[in-house]
Amino acid sequence: MPVLTSVPIAALPVERFESLIGERDYRRLMERFARGRDLLDGHAMWQVNSTSRGGGVAEMLASLLGYARGAGVDERWEVIEGNEPFFAVTKRIHNNLHGAVGDGLPLDDEAREAYESVTRAAGAELANRVVPGDVVLLHDPQTAGMIPAIKQVGVPVVWRCHVGIDTAGEITRRAWAFLRGYVQQADAYVFSRRQYVWNELEPDKTVLIAPSIDAYSAKNQELSDGQVTGILAAAGLQQDGATRTGDASFARMDASPGRVERRAEVDEGRPLRPDDVVVLQVSRWDRLKDPLGVIDGFVRHVLPRCDAHLVYAGPSVEAIADDPEGREVLAEAKACFAALPAKAREHVHLVTLPMIDLEENAAIVNALQRRADVIVQKSTAEGFGLTVAEAMWKARPVVASRIGGIQDQIEDGRSGRLVDAQDLAAYGDAVLDLLANPELAATMGKQARQRVQNGFLGTRSMLQYIALYERLVTGKGSPAEVSDPSGYA
């Protein structure tokens, strides 16, 4: 049984970035791509992660690899197909890296065997396919165990960690200890922020690359008001007054036309209406995103003082193999909704979005984010929080927890609001404040968009990955130069 599955990568047109970043920066990006391509000399760049659908890593890979292909790089994307014991262990590691106990079980010899039985086979399978001159980028804990097998082929291996915690405690250190032996064999490790770097890793191999969003994806592209209304009506998320007259169209990544046709599943007291005020959180069904806290805080601290509606949207849980907790957490959220008083149920909308066509799913998220008056990301742990950058790019005012990579994105009081992750009253107050002050909300939204333009678009990540690749192959340049895109550019 093969342990790796290839994900098709559609080449995307890099030319579209010229109008986004300006002629000078675009020229620089093209020069870097040309240099990287020369160095790669027809060899492949392999990327491995644990899912092609759902979550931030898959979201970023689809874009970044698509553009690199569009620029002439032979990118490959493989997904590691684990079994249940494997994903139970990797979810435990993921939770532990975020400082959470998860299922509470130990990372002992039994866990290591469940983990290595998959990563050893995946490593051997990939090692058979790469040739000297190729480069391998492995993402997150699920793939770290592949490093020893691939190193034997003699190709550069990068391990990219998308999760982390600002201050590591006992639980987090335990997960580091489990993974460290593999990770130390990599030629470079990439973290999203300085605070996430593990101790006992070599500084000279450590680089920082913050995640980024694709301004042209179905998730982030501009939508007209008519498209927002049409998409929400087609997905069954808002009454459209008339009968399906709205424009439910969007542009697919490859610029071909798409249309939202599938309906979301919604638990709600009544459907959303076009003039309702909307507070939104979009997240996978994960306890670290705190769905119960988002609902509880809204019902206790926002609803008594205004007439707003909360929409909490996540993906259909059927689709996501690498997250064994999704089903359970969705069931908890549904039970929480069902237990709300009837009046509160009229103001809460629990949404699961269709995941059959990922671009359709993305277009619905896009329309929801554009429809929202305030966007919330009340996670209790967050590696980066792409949903925050997505909301900011749409010039939405965001209320988010003061944790992890969210702090790199939002400057409190300027490009959004940061609140204590455990303080439901503070979350409620910040939401109410923005709802009551539309001018303040609009100004923050504008500043938020500018912040993403300056620091969190995919073009910045691409420059950094090319710089890292050059460093691996030529030995020139320092980790600091890769980590600081302004210095590099």
- Shortest reach from residue 315's CB to ligand UDP, in Å: 4
Q: Which residues of 359-379 are buried (b: 16+ CB within 10 A; e: fewer)?
A: bbbbbbbbbbbbbbbbbbbbb
Say how many Å lie between the first and final Cα of the chain, rounded.
Answer: 45
Q: Which is nearer to ligand UDP, 459 or 488 (CB)?
A: 459
**Residues 6+ away with beta carbon under 8 Å from 341:** none
Contact 240, 230 (CB under 8 A): yes
Q: How far is the CB of 316 from ligand UDP (least distance, A)?
A: 8
Closest separation between CB of residue 146 and ligand UDP, Å?
A: 21
| Binding mask of the shown chain, residues 203 to 242, with x at each position contacting ligand UDP by CB under 6 A | ----------------x-----------------------
372 binds ligand UDP (CB under 6 A): no
Measured from the CB atom, is 192 or 464 closer to ligand UDP? Answer: 192
What are the two backbone dihedrals, phi and then psi, of residue 394, each rounded to the nearest 5 degrees? -85, 15
- Name residues contacting ligand UDP, limited to 134-163 (CB under 6 A): none
CA distance 87 to 196: 23
Site string for ligand UDP, 47-66 (x = CB under 6 A): --------xx--x-------
What single string gives the DSSP state of each residue in 227-262? HHHHHHHHTTSB--SSSS-S--EEE-TTS-EEE--S
Counting contacts by CB under 6 A, is residue 325 touching ligand UDP? no
* Closest-approach residue to ligand UDP (CB): 56
Q: Is 314 in the site for ligand UDP (CB under 6 A)?
A: yes
Nearer to ligand UDP, 137 or 311 (CB): 311
CA 380 to each of CA 15, 209, 464: distance values in angstroms, whole numbers, following the listed order: 39, 22, 29
- Cβ-based nearer residue to ligand UDP, 136 or 362: 362
Q: CB nearer to ligand UDP: give 57 or 303.
A: 57
> Exactly one of 96, 387, 409, 459 binds ligand UDP (CB under 6 A); which one?
387
Q: How far apart are CA 325 and CA 241, in angstroms?
A: 38
> Least distance in Å: CB of 209 to ligand UDP?
14
36, 82, 230, 385: which one binds ligand UDP (CB under 6 A): 385
CA gap 444, 378 in Å, rounded: 18
- Return left, alpha or beta for 416; rule: phi > 0 is left, psi -120 to 50 is alpha, else beta: left
Query: Can you tell me the distance from the alpha carbon of 292 to that of 163, in angstroms, rounded to the nearest whole number?
Result: 22
Q: Which CB, 314 or 479, lies closer to ligand UDP? A: 314
In whole angstroms, how far apart are CA 434 and each of 373, 396, 439, 443, 445? Answer: 9, 10, 9, 11, 11
Q: Does 253 bind ligand UDP (CB under 6 A)?
A: no
Do 271 and 278 meet the contact criterion of CB atoms below 8 Å apart? no
- Residue 54 Cβ, how far from ligand UDP at the closest point, in Å? 6
Which of these segments, 167-175, 183-191, 254-262, 358-366, binds ligand UDP (CB under 6 A)? Answer: 358-366
By beta-carbon proximity to ligand UDP, the closer residue of 163 and 188 is 163
Which x/- pattern, by CB under 6 A, does the window 277-296 give for ligand UDP? -----x-x------------
Among 26, 87, 384, 488, which residue sits at the site for ligand UDP (rule: CB under 6 A)? 384
Return the range that interacts with ligand UDP (CB under 6 A); candidates 33-41, 152-160, 311-319, 408-416: 311-319
Report CA dihedral (42, 45, 46, 52) to the nearest 10 degrees. -110
Q: Give the whole-angstrom CA distance, residue 465 versus residue 108.
A: 35
Binding mask 389-428 toward ligand UDP (x if CB under 6 A, else -) reads: -x--------------------------------------
**Interface stretch with ligand UDP, choices 1-9, 151-159, 248-256, 386-394 (CB under 6 A):** 386-394
Which residues share a beta bridge with 429? none
Which residues have C-beta within 8 Å of that of residue 19, sequence separation ≥ 6?
A: none
Q: Does residue 353 interact with ligand UDP by CB under 6 A?
A: yes
Residue ranges that bind ligand UDP, judged by CB under 6 A: 55-56, 59, 219, 282, 284, 313-315, 353, 361-362, 365, 384-387, 390
